[in-house]
């Protein structure tokens, strides 16, 4: 995700299909490495993000060139020995800068995803426990080898802590309301009634209820492809999930649909173009009613998340 964010000149929504492909390729490489008894491979190095930020180079031809260089290093040990002759303080200085930039990019990624008080506690505890375990593996003293070494890894402890705390928050928070329907304008009355019921259950006034219903209407209009009438049996399915987030309500519209990323359209409108296109009106209206709009694509699905405050 971070590689995509730092590689693009203009902000765009993350393409989760590329991430899925890279994870599958990484898994296949790890499996083949284990079967052949060779060192493990990874699709992306964690320092890739820092190198892109540091050099400003993210073109694919740069990756192809690096692949060729690695092949040369594998078959010509003398060239590798020249790299090993680099003084340790020089490499340490480079790693210090690279790891520092990687840490900052990670924090920025968390901030972009929305970092409230509860999520901040999850991130802080996971980071603190992982860092502490990396400095002193207390599980190795309690469990011995090999379980102490496997479970006492800082990344493992931090990941398990984040997953456990997130699951705890999901179980203790109010259950979200869910509506399954079709991605069709004829389903608007049903969606509107669902959102009205959600607002009344939270005790919102008429103004807040109107904002929530209007945001739902504009989100549905934004997901509908213009000038394209699908047969009833081919109409995509739409799932609307409403969950309480503090004083606000977060609406999640999930549809199997392929269209231009909503974030791209919003970023384009930020440039202040005076000429309005008819298809862009719904995007402007959606931003007017919602405090934040986020769009993600994953495995052929469109997920639009809209946050609406009562006032």
Mean pLDDT calculated for residue range 33-60? 75
pLDDT of residue 285: 60
Tell me the pLDDT of the chain averaged across its residues.
78
Q: How confident is residue 278, by pLDDT bands cut at 50, 70 and 90? A: very low
pLDDT of residue 60: 79
pLDDT of residue 191: 92
pLDDT of residue 193: 92
- What strands lie across the sheet with 301-308, from one edge to the other? 177-182, 237-245, 248-255, 301-308, 292-298
d(Cα 86, Cα 80) in Å, to the nearest integer?
A: 11
Mean pLDDT calculated for residue range 167-190? 87
pLDDT of residue 50: 72
- 278-308 burial, b for 16+ CB within 10 Å, e for fewer? eebebbebbbebbeebbbbbeeebbbbbbbb
pLDDT of residue 274: 42
Per-domain residue ranges for the chain? Answer: 1-113, 115-173, 177-308
Q: Which of 208, 109, 121 is nearest to 166 (CA)?
A: 121
Mean pLDDT calculated for residue range 94-103? 81
Residue 150's CB: how many other CB atoms inside 10 A? 12
Q: Is the pLDDT of residue 277 over 50?
A: no
Could you confirm whether domain 177-308 is CATH 3.30.565.10? yes
Q: How confident is residue 225, by pLDDT bands cut at 50, 70 and 90? A: low
Please list the residues that pair with 301 across neighbouring strands.
Answer: 298
Lowest pLDDT segment from 148-162, 234-248, 282-296: 282-296
Structure tokens at 46: 């964690």
Mean pLDDT calculated for residue range 24-29? 87
Q: Is the pLDDT of residue 169 over 80?
A: yes
pLDDT of residue 227: 44
Percent of the chain clearing pLDDT 90 (strictly above): 7
For the chain, what is the radius of gyration of the CA atoms?
24
d(Cα 304, Cα 18) in Å, to the nearest integer?
A: 19
């Amino acid at each position: 995700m971070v590689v995509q964010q730092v590689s693009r000149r203009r902000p765009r929504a993350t393409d989760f299909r590329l991430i899925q492909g890279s994870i599958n390729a990484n898994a296949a490489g790890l499996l083949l490495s284990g079967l052949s008894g060779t060192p493990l491979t990874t699709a992306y190095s964690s320092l890739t993000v820092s190198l892109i930020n540091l050099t400003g180079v993210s073109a694919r031809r740069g990756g192809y060139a690096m692949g060729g260089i690695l092949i040369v290093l594998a078959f010509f040990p003398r060239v590798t020995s020249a790299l090993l002759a680099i003084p340790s303080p020089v490499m340490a200085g480079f790693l210090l800068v690279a790891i520092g930039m990687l840490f900052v990019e990670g924090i920025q990624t968390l901030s972009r995803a929305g970092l409230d008080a509860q999520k901040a506690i999850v991130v802080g505890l996971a980071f603190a426990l992982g860092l502490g375990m990396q400095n002193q593996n207390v599980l190795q003293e309690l469990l011995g080898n090999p379980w102490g070494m496997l479970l006492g890894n800082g990344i493992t402890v931090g990941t398990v802590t984040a997953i456990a705390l997130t699951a705890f928050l999901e179980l203790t928070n109010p259950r979200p309301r869910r509506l399954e329907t079709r991605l069709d304008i004829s389903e608007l009355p049903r969606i509107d009634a669902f959102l009205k019921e959600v607002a009344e259950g939270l005790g919102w006034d008429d103004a807040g209820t109107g904002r929530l219903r209007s945001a739902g209407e504009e989100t549905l209009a934004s997901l509908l492809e213009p000038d394209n009438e699908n047969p009833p049996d081919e109409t995509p399915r739409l799932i609307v999930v409403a969950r309480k987030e503090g004083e606000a309500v977060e609406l999640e519209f999930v549809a199997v649909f392929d269209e231009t990323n909503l974030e791209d359209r919003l970023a384009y409108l930020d440039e202040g173009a005076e000429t309005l296109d008819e298809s862009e009106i719904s995007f402007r209206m959606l931003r007017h009613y919602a405090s934040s709009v986020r769009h993600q694509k994953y495995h052929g699905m469109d997920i639009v998340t809209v946050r609406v405050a009562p006032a």
